[in-house]
Amino acid sequence: MHEFSPLTALVGGVLIGISASLLLWLNGRMAGVSGIVRGVLWASSWSDRLWRLLFVLGLIVGGMVYVLLFPNLVTARQGYPLPLIVSAGLLVGFGAAMSGGCTSGHGVCGLGRLSVRSLIATLTFLVAGIVTVYFIRHVAGVAA
């Protein structure tokens, strides 16, 4: 966290909150990314699939625009083999399916609705992340 900025974190959090609120208000849907991506692949109707696809494309395009506008604020991490990245992504997707949602669904939307289930899921995500980082850095000896 060499380049942490409270201002960018605050702006990002506010934008995520506004976006999640607008999606719920205008579309009646939660902004849980794993469920949205799942719906892109298996939605029953084209209109349901379309808004989900546009949401995912917006995430990708938004990230690309941020990198283009603020190239000095983004440092790409190098040296991760593609099979490791793909495996990690599949494990995250599997975990999200097992827990009935992802960090965005539980951590942003669920906590905003004061859901006890989402609080437990979010705490589980945090503890699992802390334990994983500790194990990788201090037990396995892999540097960040």
pLDDT single digits (tens) 56-76 = 999 899 989 988 998 887 777
SS3 129: helix
pLDDT at 137: 87
**What are 28-50's pLDDT values in tens digits?**
888 888 888 888 888 889 888 99
Greatest Cα pair distance, the chain, in angstroms, is 49
Instruction: Report whether 40 contacts 53 (CB < 8 A).
Output: yes
**What are 10-24's pLDDT values in tens digits?**
988 898 889 888 988
